[in-house]
């Protein structure tokens, strides 16, 4: 039976990580369910768990760096993220749609990323925004794109001695933004499908275009290949590209269950977003 | 002027203790030296057991199974049928069948023992769906044809003649899925011994059912067992017979161990290993003339009963008796077939078989109406049954039917006709309507022939105690019954007590089910109170009475002919939706309902029942998907089997028509199930109209709407 | 390393020295006998076990006790006899919010947190605030009305 810990400091946590491969628990909303054993029984995992929810000075907080990047501490909760003015819109939307209030008060961004569930709410907009994850260990710090960090369903590149320290979202400005989560019901629901999209138009040219699909494959899907079909093209060309783009995106996603629904809805959402660009709708949020 | 007026606004007697967290549910009980129990269940749907391998049991730990049933006992739970075994013995017939009970002090050790118990199986091929059962997949489970029960009802001219004269015949198959009760309190029970008698504390609707069901396990009489109902955190039928499945093994364990033993299911156990609403498949063939008038309807109704019959025959009967909806068709031939499958036995769930066929007939009529270009409400109203109209069981409607008035009130409140015209078909907005009823109390002469309910009032000083076996499970009966008694006696409600039943202290009032409590038990209490009032000055005394069935309403339970129900609750609902064309998400923007429940005993309680029943029905139609693959339920938590939250549906508008019932207390009829029976069809009608699709199966989450759109 | 977890429950100091992964709901119900906290799902999905931790609503079935270091925990037992708690309980009673009652203590906690930060919520805000508290009986309308009633009756209490 694994022994579980409450380290007093970040160094103790890193040591537990290195020596015992302890699993970090910040909010517990995933781990407590994964290890659930029934009424009156403490959850158990195959490895020790270390509770780090109190290491707020080291691992919490949300700030904006001088270069405009937003740094979100790993144990920042969904509620904190949802109510922060400096967090980009896509991420705030996803955070505010995570579970219900009580869950958002516990669930953390580090946990949501580390769990790497295809249905996780936060990775999808973070990957859209080219967010990086900062990993720390006694050997120092490692940074990588979140898109590379999450390797597949429930698998990440986290080394056995590392802890997720923070997420860094580079600055960006979009002309159009889109976010949609379809849950199993209107609130307090796991994602059935989600999509983020963003585009920047300058002088009639689409200079940035990106999209990311959640719950449509083993991990969040971004297709740079499909995106490149639209980037640096004049707005008036887009309408003609839409069918090929949708086909390319459809190839990129690989929904397992409800494939028809997930594919068709993804296409309809992307169509709606592109339609806003084509029609030159007012800048801002596309609904 | 009585001190407690029947229309007075009163406060629910159980509300404050519950809101303060002081009410004691069974999981809150702790007795000295108490042990815990957990179940060892089958992990395969159909197999011969070839070996049971237990880890070594530490001192004070027990494995209780069929071997522990004494020689004079029988391994059966007597529900309505006696076929459900307490412990699987030799073979298993569904996933989750009880094989044994592990009992001991430490739940950690129990969990270890449970995880390390291995059962060897020689597996067969399971039949899971109605179609599997009909095709005899894996060989028959019961008899030669997998038919567990069947019946038919015939009204009007022979269907052969009707079909011969028809201009067209419209045939369609309508299906409904499993539904899980999700009472917020999971199932649980606690057994102990007092003065040589077994005492069971249980979260249960029907304490007397439990005692009858389990006594045979030990070959003792029901009176040797005391059942004490604990505050029950929701039931909806899920705690009508199912508590027997917990209490049976506990009783056998107690006879061996003689210490308090508690068994509480966690949510995933309650989700995976408990009874569900019967999935159904109804095939209607409707004979129509050139103008679209209905000449007759033939219906074949299949219910998936699961692995044991238990209460299914009665559920099926109610399904058949409600398959004509609220209508008087010239001819009907309705056949019900309950089939056996290797799934968890299906059982009671609010509506008890009626919701499935009511959904089917309402949806079928919508499709016919649209096919001929009629508004569904107008079309259906042509066939509204009236007082004196012949029912499918060749009986008659005894009461005034106020459906026309209900329709006009509802249409006005919801602006139905204008919206129906304006939204049309396929505009993305839709308004739907449905009509439904629910026969009150046990079918036919069941109350008189089978139940023989008793109730007792005991006067002590100026206080009066109600002694009945009926239970409060959230529906408000403790309040309603005290109100009836106080009003009849002309005293304050505060002077009337009604404790949770203890079977050693109260008479058997029959089960708390079938929307019968207010109508039947309330009536007996009212009769007792009348007598008590007359004799009020006699000092302390008690009055006990048995239910008296009104004369002149014959019923033949062998042929299912006669007056199936003396009084019905009647309902109509309108639902308005907007559907997101991109995601198929349905936004319900309005819900209106109108019900005839006789005369309401307490409007605030009725309000809560109407709201709750309608939301459960909308959940059934919209989102509550419980799938079974190869005998295993796929939804095992409240995150993958979702029920409505506060955000999913808007505030409801509701109304009642007053239609006092001649045999009910203060004119009241049953209403607990009625309010579940129809909003599903109104919702589906609204979604169909919004998108121009045809739905023949519920639930319809967005992915199923996608399928319907592709088929449109 | 913290070998003991110290925190406060309804104002009383609690020192826990067992497995830090022990579910808070089990500590509250089994060790402290605060059985007004109900367990409905064990996965943080139903809200029946809702408690207030450092001013925020959380579900105690998925909070490990080790995450309560230095926390202030309030359960239904800790608020029911306060002026605010009584206000909500009585509004629930009078407004017809209670049926089977199993979800209600958690619902009262959610209402308490809502009204403490938003003394005059709209119906929509009330619905959002209780969207993590599942009720199978009421269809929510009377719960929403009761919370509004508590806001109206409480008045200055919530300011």
State pLDDT tens for residues A75-131: 999 999 999 999 999 999 999 999 999 999 999 999 999 999 999 999 999 999 999
pLDDT confidence band for B1 (50 / 70 / 90) = low
The DSSP element (H or E) to which A57 belongs, if any, is helix A56-59
Across the interface, do C19 and A6 touch by the CB < 8 Å criterion?
A: no
**Using CA atoms, how far apart are residues C103 and C92, in angstroms rounded to an integer?**
12
Nearest CA-CA distance, residue A215 and chain C, Å = 20
The stretch B154-174 carries a mean pLDDT of: 98
> What are the two backbone dihedrals, phi and then psi, of residue A151, each rounded to the nearest 5 degrees?
-95, -25
The stretch C100-118 carries a mean pLDDT of: 98
Nearest CA-CA distance, residue A115 and chain C, Å = 16
**Using CA atoms, how far apart are residues B425 and A101, in angstroms rounded to an integer?**
38
**Using CA atoms, how far apart are residues B322 and A98, in angstroms rounded to an integer?**
42
Residues A79, A81, A83, A89, CA torsion sign: negative
Q: What letters, b where the CB count within 10 A reaches 16 and e where it falls short, cover B30-68?
A: eeeeebbbbbbbbbbbbbebeeeebeeeeeebbbbbbeb
Across the interface, do B582 and A187 touch by the CB < 8 Å criterion?
A: no
**Using CA atoms, how far apart are residues A177 and A276, in angstroms rounded to an integer?**
10
Strand boundaries in B597-650, DSSP class E: 628-629, 632-633
The stretch B117-127 carries a mean pLDDT of: 98
Q: How many CB pairs under 8 A join A and B?
A: 70
Share the mean pLDDT of chain B: 97
Nearest CA-CA distance, residue C13 and chain B, Å = 21
Fold: same for B31-124+181-272 and B280-443+560-711? yes
Across the interface, do B637 and C41 touch by the CB < 8 Å criterion?
A: yes
* Neighbouring residues of A118: CB distance < 8 A, sequence distance ≥ 6: A153, A214, A215, A216, A217, A218, A219, A220
* Neighbouring residues of B556: CB distance < 8 A, sequence distance ≥ 6: B444, B562
State whether residue C67 sits within 8 Å of chain A by CB.
yes
Across the interface, do C93 and B612 touch by the CB < 8 Å criterion?
A: no
Is the confidence at residue C90, as pLDDT, over 70? Answer: yes
State whether residue A102 sits within 8 Å of chain C by CB.
yes
The stretch B509-519 carries a mean pLDDT of: 95
| Nearest Cα residue in chain C from B183 | C136
The DSSP element (H or E) to which B219 belongs, if any, is none
State whether residue A261 sits within 8 Å of chain B by CB.
yes
Nearest to B449 by CA among B553, B351, B352: B553
The stretch B606-629 carries a mean pLDDT of: 98
Q: Phi/psi zone of residue B388: left (φ > 0), alpha (ψ -120 to 50 degrees), beta?
A: left
**Using CA atoms, how far apart are residues C106 and A219, in angstroms rounded to an integer?**
35
Interface pTM (ipTM) of the complex? 0.99
Across the interface, do C57 and A32 touch by the CB < 8 Å criterion?
A: no
By the 8 A CB rule, do B481 and B497 touch?
A: no
* Neighbouring residues of B239: CB distance < 8 A, sequence distance ≥ 6: B183, B187, B203, B204, B205, B206, B232, B473
Nearest to B602 by CA among B2, B73, B106, B9: B9
State whether residue A73 sits within 8 Å of chain C by CB.
no
B513: its two tokens: 């089910």
Name all chains with 3 or more CB-CB pairs below 8 Å to chain A: B, C
CATH code that applies to domain B15-23+446-546: 3.30.365.10
Nearest to B273 by CA among B103, B101, B95: B95
Residues of B in contact with C92 (CB under 8 A): 15, 19
**Using CA atoms, how far apart are residues A281 and A284, in angstroms rounded to an integer?**
9
* 3-state secondary structure at position C150: helix
Across the interface, do A101 and C43 touch by the CB < 8 Å criterion?
A: no
**Using CA atoms, how far apart are residues B486 and B483, in angstroms rounded to an integer?**
5
By the 8 A CB rule, do C24 and C51 touch?
A: yes
The stretch C40-67 carries a mean pLDDT of: 98
Q: For chain A, which residues make up each domain, given as ranges?
A: 10-36+47-169, 176-285
Q: Is residue B316 exposed (0-12), middle (13-18) or buried (19+ Cβ within 10 Å)? A: buried
Q: Check residue B499 and give its pLDDT.
A: 96
| Nearest Cα residue in chain B from C34 | B21
The string of pLDDT tens digits covering residues B465-506 is 999 999 999 999 999 999 999 999 999 999 999 999 999 999
The stretch B127-133 carries a mean pLDDT of: 98
By the 8 A CB rule, do B20 and B67 touch?
A: no
Instruction: Please name the fold of domain A10-36+47-169.
Output: 3.30.465
Nearest CA-CA distance, residue A190 and chain B, Å = 7
Question: How many CB atoms are located within 10 Å of the residue B71 CB?
Answer: 5
The DSSP element (H or E) to which A125 belongs, if any, is helix A123-128
Name all chains with 3 or more CB-CB pairs below 8 Å to chain B: A, C
By the 8 A CB rule, do B36 and B42 touch?
A: no
Residues of B in contact with C76 (CB under 8 A): 20-21
Nearest CA-CA distance, residue C23 and chain B, Å = 14
**Secondary-structure class of domain A176-285 per CATH:** alpha beta
**Secondary-structure class of domain B31-124+181-272 per CATH:** alpha beta
Name all chains with 3 or more CB-CB pairs below 8 Å to chain C: A, B
* Neighbouring residues of B144: CB distance < 8 A, sequence distance ≥ 6: none
> What are the two backbone dihedrals, phi and then psi, of residue B60, each rounded to the nearest 5 degrees?
85, 5
Nearest to B648 among A37, A38, A186 (CB): A186
**Using CA atoms, how far apart are residues B595 and B568, in angstroms rounded to an integer?**
11
**Using CA atoms, how far apart are residues B619 and B638, in angstroms rounded to an integer?**
13
The stretch B557-562 carries a mean pLDDT of: 96
Across the interface, do C2 and A6 touch by the CB < 8 Å criterion?
A: yes
The stretch B550-567 carries a mean pLDDT of: 95
| Nearest Cα residue in chain C from A101 | C132
B422: its two tokens: 């304006």
Across the interface, do A185 and B642 touch by the CB < 8 Å criterion?
A: yes
State whether residue B584 sits within 8 Å of chain A by CB.
yes
Nearest to A227 by CA among A249, A205, A203, A255: A249
The string of pLDDT tens digits covering residues B364-414 is 999 999 999 999 999 999 999 999 999 999 999 999 999 999 999 999 999
* Neighbouring residues of B135: CB distance < 8 A, sequence distance ≥ 6: B127
Q: What is the DSSP letter of B66?
A: G
Q: Is residue A45 exposed (0-12), middle (13-18) or buried (19+ Cβ within 10 Å)? A: middle
Residues of B in contact with A262 (CB under 8 A): 703
B220: its two tokens: 């003792």
Tokens 């094989």 appear where?
Answer: B99
Pairing of β B463-467 and β B454-460: antiparallel
Residues of C in contact with A188 (CB under 8 A): 45, 131-132, 134
Nearest to A100 among C63, C69, C132 (CB): C132
Nearest to B234 among C76, C92, C136 (CB): C136
Nearest CA-CA distance, residue B574 and chain C, Å = 16
Nearest to B21 among C43, C76, C140 (CB): C76
Pairing of β A140-145 and β A132-137: antiparallel
Q: Check residue B393 and give its pLDDT.
A: 97
Nearest CA-CA distance, residue B48 and chain A, Å = 28
By the 8 A CB rule, do A72 and A87 touch?
A: yes
Nearest to B346 by CA among B315, B300, B301: B315
3-state secondary structure B438-457: EECCCCCCHHHHHHCCEEEE
pLDDT confidence band for B569 (50 / 70 / 90) = very high
By the 8 A CB rule, do B645 and A187 touch?
A: yes
Q: Check residue B712 and give its pLDDT.
A: 85
Measured at the CA of B106, the angle between CA B101 and CA B108, to 5 degrees, comes to 90
The stretch B67-90 carries a mean pLDDT of: 97
The DSSP element (H or E) to which A54 belongs, if any, is none
State whether residue C30 sits within 8 Å of chain A by CB.
yes
Q: Which of C94, C100, C123 is best to mutate for the B interface (most B CBs within 10 A)?
A: C100
Tokens 């004490």 appear where?
Answer: B228
Is the confidence at residue B539, as pLDDT, over 80? Answer: yes
Selecting from 3.30.365.10, 1.10.1060.10, 2.120.10.80, 3.20.20.70, what CATH number does the domain B280-443+560-711 have?
3.30.365.10
Across the interface, do A180 and B642 touch by the CB < 8 Å criterion?
A: no
Q: Whole-prediction pTM value?
A: 0.98
Q: What radius of gyration do chain A's Cα atoms show?
A: 20
Query: Length of chain C in residues, anyone?
Result: 159
Q: Check residue B3 and give its pLDDT.
A: 81
% residues pLDDT > 90 (chain C) = 100
Q: How many alpha carbons fall within 13 Å on the CB side of residue B27?
A: 26
Pairing of β B197-202 and β B147-155: unpaired
Across the interface, do A188 and C131 touch by the CB < 8 Å criterion?
A: yes
Q: How many CB pairs under 8 A join B and C?
A: 172
pLDDT confidence band for A2 (50 / 70 / 90) = confident
**Using CA atoms, how far apart are residues B597 and B574, in angstroms rounded to an integer?**
18
* Neighbouring residues of B490: CB distance < 8 A, sequence distance ≥ 6: B2, B3, B4, B533
**Using CA atoms, how far apart are residues C51 and C108, in angstroms rounded to an integer?**
10
Q: For chain B, which residues make up each domain, given as ranges?
A: 15-23+446-546, 31-124+181-272, 280-443+560-711
The stretch B84-88 carries a mean pLDDT of: 98
* Neighbouring residues of B90: CB distance < 8 A, sequence distance ≥ 6: B48, B49
* Neighbouring residues of B373: CB distance < 8 A, sequence distance ≥ 6: none
For chain C, domains (ranges, CATH) are: 5-78 (3.10.20.30), 80-154 (1.10.150.120)
Is the confidence at residue A48, as pLDDT, over 80? Answer: yes
The string of pLDDT tens digits covering residues B251-274 is 999 999 999 999 999 999 999 999
% residues pLDDT > 70 (chain B) = 100
Name beta bridge partners: C56. C53
Nearest CA-CA distance, residue B573 and chain A, Å = 22
By the 8 A CB rule, do C89 and C112 touch?
A: no
Strand boundaries in A175-234, DSSP class E: 176-183, 191-202, 205-214
Nearest CA-CA distance, residue B710 and chain A, Å = 10
Distance of CA B313 to the CA centre of its chain: 14
């Amino acid at each position: 039976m694994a022994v579980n810990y409450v380290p007093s400091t970040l160094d103790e946590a890193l040591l537990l990580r290195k020596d015992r491969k302890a699993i970090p628990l910040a909010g517990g909303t995933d781990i407590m369910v994964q290890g659930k054993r029934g009424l009156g029984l403490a959850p158990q995992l195959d490895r020790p768990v270390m509770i780090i929810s109190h290491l707020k000075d080291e691992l919490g907080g949300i700030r904006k760096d001088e270069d405009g990047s937003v740094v979100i501490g790993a144990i920042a909760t969904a509620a904190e993220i949802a109510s922060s003015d400096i967090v980009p819109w896509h991420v705030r939307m996803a955070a505010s749609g995570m579970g219900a209030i009580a869950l958002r008060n516990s669930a953390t961004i580090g946990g949501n990323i580390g769990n790497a569930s295809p249905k996780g709410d936060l990775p999808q907009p973070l990957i859209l925004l080219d967010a990086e994850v900062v990993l720390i260990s006694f050997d120092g710090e490692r940074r990588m794109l979140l898109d590379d960090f999450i390797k597949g369903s429930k698998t990440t590149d986290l080394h056995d001695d590392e802890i997720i320290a923070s997420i860094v979202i580079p600055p960006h400005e979009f002309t159009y933004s889109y976010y949609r989560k379809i849950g199993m019901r209107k609130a307090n629901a796991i994602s059935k499908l989600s999509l983020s999209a963003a585009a920047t138009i300058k002088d009639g040219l689409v200079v940035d275009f990106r999209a990311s699909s959640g719950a449509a494959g083993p991990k969040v899907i971004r297709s740079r290949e499909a995106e490149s079909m639209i980037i640096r093209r004049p707005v008036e060309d887009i309408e003609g590209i839409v069918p090929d783009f949708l086909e390319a995106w459809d190839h990129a996603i690989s929904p397992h269950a409800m494939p028809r629904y997930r594919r068709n809805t993804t296409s309809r959402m992307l169509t709606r977003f592109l339609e806003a660009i084509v029609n030159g709708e007012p800048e801002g949020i596309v609904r | 002027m009585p001190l407690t007026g029947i229309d007075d606004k009163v406060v629910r007697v159980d509300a404050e203790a519950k809101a303060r967290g002081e009410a004691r549910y069974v999981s809150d009980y702790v007795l000295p030296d108490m042990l815990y129990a957990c179940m060892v269940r089958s992990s395969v749907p159909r197999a011969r057991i070839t070996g049971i391998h237990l880890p070594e049991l530490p001192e004070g730990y027990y494995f209780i199974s069929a071997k522990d049933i004494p020689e004079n006992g029988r391994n059966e739970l007597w529900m309505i049928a006696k076929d459900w075994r307490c412990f699987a013995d030799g073979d298993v017939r569904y996933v989750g069948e009880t094989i044994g009970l592990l009992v001991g002090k430490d739940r950690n050790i129990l969990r270890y023992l449970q995880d390390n118990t291995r059962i060897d199986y020689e597996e067969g091929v399971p039949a899971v769906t109605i179609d599997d059962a009909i095709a005899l997949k894996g060989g028959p489970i019961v008899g030669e044809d997998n038919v567990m029960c069947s019946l038919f009802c015939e009204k009007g001219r022979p269907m052969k003649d009707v079909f011969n004269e028809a201009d067209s015949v419209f045939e369609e198959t309508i299906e409904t899925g499993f539904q899980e009760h999700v009472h917020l309190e999971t199932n649980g029970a606690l057994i102990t011994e007092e003065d040589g008698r077994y005492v069971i504390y249980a979260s249960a609707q029907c304490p007397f059912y439990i005692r009858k069901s389990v006594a045979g396990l030990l070959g003792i009489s029901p009176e040797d067992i005391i059942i004490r109902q604990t505050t029950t955190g929701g039931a909806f039928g899920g705690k009508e017979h199912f508590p027997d499945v917990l209490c049976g093994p506990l009783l056998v364990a107690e006879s061996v161990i003689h210490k308090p033993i508690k068994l509480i299911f966690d949510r995933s156990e309650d989700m995976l290993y408990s009874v569900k609403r019967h999935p159904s498949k109804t095939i209607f063939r409707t004979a129509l003339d050139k103008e679209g008038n209905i000449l007759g309807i033939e219906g074949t109704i299949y219910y998936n009963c699961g692995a044991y019959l238990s209460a299914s025959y009665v559920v099926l009967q109610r399904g058949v008796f409600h398959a004509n909806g609220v209508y008087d068709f010239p001819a009907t031939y309705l056949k019900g077939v309950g089939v056996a499958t290797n799934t968890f036995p299906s059982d009671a769930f609010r509506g008890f078989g009626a919701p499935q066929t009511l959904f089917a007939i309402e949806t079928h009529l919508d499709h016919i109406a649209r096919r001929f270009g009629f508004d569904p409400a107008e079309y259906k109203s042509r066939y509204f049954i009236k007082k004196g109209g012949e029912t499918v069981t060749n009986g008659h409607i005894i009461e005034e039917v106020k459906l026309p008035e209900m329709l006009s009130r509802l249409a006005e409140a919801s602006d139905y006709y204008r919206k129906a015209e304006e939204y049309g078909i396929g505009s993305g907005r839709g308004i739907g309507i449905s009509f439904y009823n629910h026969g009150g109390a046990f079918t036919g002469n069941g109350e008189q022939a089978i139940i023989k309910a008793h109730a007792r009032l005991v006067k002590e000083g100026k206080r009066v105690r109600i002694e009945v076996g009926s239970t409060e499970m959230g529906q408000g009966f403790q309040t309603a019954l005290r109100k009836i008694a106080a009003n009849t006696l002309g005293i304050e409600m505060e002077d009337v007590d009604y404790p949770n039943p203890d079977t050693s202290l109260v008479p058997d009032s029959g089960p708390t089910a079938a929307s019968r409590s207010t109508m039947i038990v309330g009536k007996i209490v009212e009769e007792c109170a009348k007598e008590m009032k007359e004799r009020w000055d006699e000092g302390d005394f008690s009055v006990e009475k048995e239910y008296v069935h009104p004369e002149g309403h014959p019923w033949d339970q062998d042929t299912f002919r006669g007056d199936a129900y003396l009084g019905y609750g009647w309902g109509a609902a309108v639902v308005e939706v907007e559907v997101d064309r991109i995601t198929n998400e349905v936004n319900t923007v309005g819900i209106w309902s109108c019900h005839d429940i006789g005369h309401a005993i307490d409007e605030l309680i009725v309000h809560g029942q109407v709201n709750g029943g309608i939301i459960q029905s909308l959940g059934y139609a919209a989102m509550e998907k419980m799938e079974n693959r190869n005998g295993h339920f796929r939804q095992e938590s409240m995150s993958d089997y979702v029920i409505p939250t506060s955000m999913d549906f808007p505030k409801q508008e509701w109304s009642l028509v007053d239609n006092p019932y001649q045999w009910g207390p203060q004119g009241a009829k049953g209403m607990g199930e009625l309010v579940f029976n129809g909003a599903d069809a109104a919702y589906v009608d609204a979604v169909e109209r919004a998108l121009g699709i045809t739905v023949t199966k519920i639930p319809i989450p967005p992915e199923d709407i996608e399928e319907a759109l592709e088929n449109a | 390393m913290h070998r003991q977890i110290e925190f406060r429950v309804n104002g009383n100091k609690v020192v826990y020295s067992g497995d830090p992964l022990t579910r808070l709901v089990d500590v509250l119900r089994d060790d402290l006998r605060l059985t007004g906290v109900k367990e409905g799902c064990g996965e943080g999905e139903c809200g029946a076990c809702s408690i207030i931790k450092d001013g925020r609503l959380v579900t105690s079935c998925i909070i490990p006790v080790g995450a309560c270091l230095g926390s202030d925990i309030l359960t239904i037992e800790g608020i029911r006899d306060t002026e605010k708690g009584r206000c909500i309980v009585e509004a629930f009673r009078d407004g017809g919010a209670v049926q089977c009652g199993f979800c209600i203590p958690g619902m009262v906690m959610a209402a308490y947190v809502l009204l403490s930060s938003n003394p005059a919520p709209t119906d929509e805000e009330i619905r959002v605030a209780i969207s993590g508290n599942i009720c199978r009986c009421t269809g929510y309308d009377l719960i929403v009305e009761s919370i509004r009633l508590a806001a109206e009756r409480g008045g200055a209490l919530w300011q």
